């Protein structure tokens, strides 16, 4: 009998293999179209803090979305890994250098201001039709979102993925973050019955 963690590992591997198999040019076009979809379907106050992520491997490139949000007045931030368990969000300022955060991704350096995002574009490896997600296995987002909630914040979570990353069902674990919205190349999908919850990391 396999454990939920082992099941997730296999589902992650399969979903990422499907994503990696997508043609690069297609991924670029899809990322641009997804940016248009996002901007057409969300509203936010100028000055709102939005977290994105610097794409790695075959991830959706959310930089077009971020730049469009910035043009409409959003204040952008990117994840910064402090150690093996802690992730914070530092302000992304045009012209300021980015540093290697490991895992093939980049973020603002130590001098950048730490921000608390109200809207989060959340990367993921796999998802199901209920809004349950599988991350990359380190639990950084689960813990970071929990820390924001401890501060009394309820960030809006929008998962970012391609349709090919969908799986039949993600094994349930009590610490998992469940997203209420998901953006793919087929549109912005809302999971009306999803409960966003987290405790600590998978």
Q: Which residues are annotated as a binding site for ATP?
A: 8-12, 133-141
Q: How far apart are the first and last CA of the chain?
A: 19
Nearest to 123, CA basis, from 195, 33, 15, 10: 15
Q: What are phi and psi of 145, to 5 degrees?
A: -70, -40
Tell me the binding residues for substrate. 59
- Contacts within 8 Å (CB) and 24+ apart, 143-149: 143/85, 143/86, 143/87, 143/198, 143/200, 143/201, 144/79, 144/87, 144/88, 144/89, 145/120, 145/177, 145/196, 145/198, 146/198, 146/199, 146/200, 148/116, 148/117, 149/198
Helices (H), the chain: 4-20, 24-41, 63-71, 140-150
Q: How many CA atoms lie within 13 A of 199 on its CB side?
A: 3
Binding residues: 8-12, 59, 133-141
How far apart are alpha carbons 192 and 180 in whole angstroms?
A: 7
């Amino acid at each position: 009998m396999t454990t939920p963690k082992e099941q997730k590992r296999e589902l992650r591997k399969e979903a990422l293999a499907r994503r990696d198999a997508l043609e690069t040019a297609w991924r670029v076009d899809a990322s641009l179209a997804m940016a248009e979809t996002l901007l057409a379907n969300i509203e936010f106050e100028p000055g709102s803090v939005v977290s994105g992520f610097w794409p790695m491997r075959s991830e959706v490139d959310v930089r077009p979305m971020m730049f469009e949000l910035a043009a409409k007045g959003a204040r952008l931030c990117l994840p910064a890994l402090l150690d093996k368990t802690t992730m914070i969000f530092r302000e992304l300022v045009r012209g300021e250098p980015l540093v290697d955060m490991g895992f093939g991704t980049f973020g603002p350096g130590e001098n950048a201001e730490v921000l608390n995002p109200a809207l989060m574009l959340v990367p993921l490896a796999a998802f199901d039709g209920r809004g349950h997600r599988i991350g990359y296995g380190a639990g950084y987002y689960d813990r970071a979102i929990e820390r924001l909630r401890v501060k009394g914040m309820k960030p809006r979570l929008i998962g970012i993925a391609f349709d090919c990353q969908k799986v039949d069902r993600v094994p349930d674990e009590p610490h998992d973050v469940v997203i209420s919205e998901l953006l793919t190349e087929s549109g912005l999908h809302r999971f009306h019955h999803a409960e966003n919850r987290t405790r600590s990391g998978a």
